[in-house]
A = this chain, B = another copy of it.
Amino acid sequence: MKRIKVSNNVIRRLPRYLRKLDELKASGVGRISSSNLGQQLGLTPSQIRQDFSSFGEFGQQGYGYNVAALRDEIASILGIDRGFKAILIGVGNIGHALMDNFCFSEWGFSLEAAFDIDPEIVGTVTKGVSVKSMDELPDYLRTNKIDVAVLTVPKEAAVPVARLLYNSGISAIWNFTNVELTEPNSSSLVENVHFSDSLLSLSYYVSERYDEEAARAARLARSEK
């Protein structure tokens, strides 16, 4: 596939497009205009046309996008068809929740194994994935080509485990630990999951709504005087 440098903002929107197109496809929608799609996603039609134009020609003026074709194209741009392999490290609450509920395969990933230090957890199997001992991790990484490590260890283990992963030459870490994994000499990609970012955005919107309601109430009170 041709690679053009695409802005991070566009890349961050692609998964949202994919989810929406999956939804449209599932409900039997065959074609959609950029303005209709924009409406459903809170984006302007021109924003949408511009985003897609980063990757080539998708739609036809006045005729809309073919939902299934656009969906497959975006999935492919995101690498869903590349057969990426993942392991998960740290089978605590979050790790177990991901093994149990997160459908890796839906997003093109195969979860190959999980690792933990707790002898009571090692050897258990969740949704077909077995938990190995952390001691086995270095050997495992030497003999298996793994693309992404899902890091769900406790905070205090985050840095040492990340270092082990860096040293193994892993391509990427999906980091749930809330610890910044900055290793100047590492070439591994790190994607941080920060629940707080999402909660704080919500906090902003709630604040904004309360302020608007208070302003409305104040106007009403003045007009009733």
29 A-B interface contacts by CB (under 8 A): A3-B208, A3-B212, A9-B9, A11-B205, A12-B201, A15-B196, A15-B200, A15-B201, A78-B200, A78-B204, A79-B200, A79-B203, A79-B207, A93-B94, A93-B100, A93-B101, A94-B97, A102-B195, A107-B196, A109-B199, A148-B199, A148-B203, A148-B206, A172-B206, A174-B198, A174-B199, A189-B202, A191-B202, A193-B195
Excluding A107-B199, A189-B209, 18 further A-B contacts by CB distance (< 8 Å) are A11-B205, A16-B197, A18-B200, A19-B194, A78-B200, A79-B204, A80-B203, A82-B210, A84-B203, A93-B96, A93-B100, A94-B97, A107-B200, A109-B199, A148-B199, A148-B203, A148-B206, A189-B205
Partner of A172, one of B16, B194, B205: B205
Query: Does A23 have its Cβ within 8 Å of any Cβ on chain B?
Result: yes
A178-191: CB near B (< 8 Å → 1, else 0) gives: 00100000000101
| Cβ–Cβ < 8 Å partners of A200 in chain B | 14-15, 18, 78-80, 107
Query: Does A130 have its Cβ within 8 Å of any Cβ on chain B?
Result: no
Q: Are A209 and B171 in contact (CB under 8 A)?
A: yes
Separation of A197 and B97 alpha carbons in the complex (Å): 17
Query: Does A42 have its Cβ within 8 Å of any Cβ on chain B?
Result: yes
Separation of A12 and B12 alpha carbons in the complex (Å): 12
- Of the listed residues A189, A194, A198, the one surrounded by the most CB atoms of chain B closer than 10 A to its CB is A198
B-contacting residues, A126-161, CB 8 Å: 147-148
Binding site for B on A (CB under 8 A): 1, 3, 8-9, 11-12, 14-16, 18-19, 23, 42, 77-80, 82, 84, 92-94, 96-98, 100-102, 106-109, 147-148, 171-172, 174, 180, 189, 191, 193-212, 215
Separation of A148 and B97 alpha carbons in the complex (Å): 22
| Cβ–Cβ < 8 Å partners of A191 in chain B | 198-199, 201-202, 205
A56 to chain B, nearest CB (A): 15
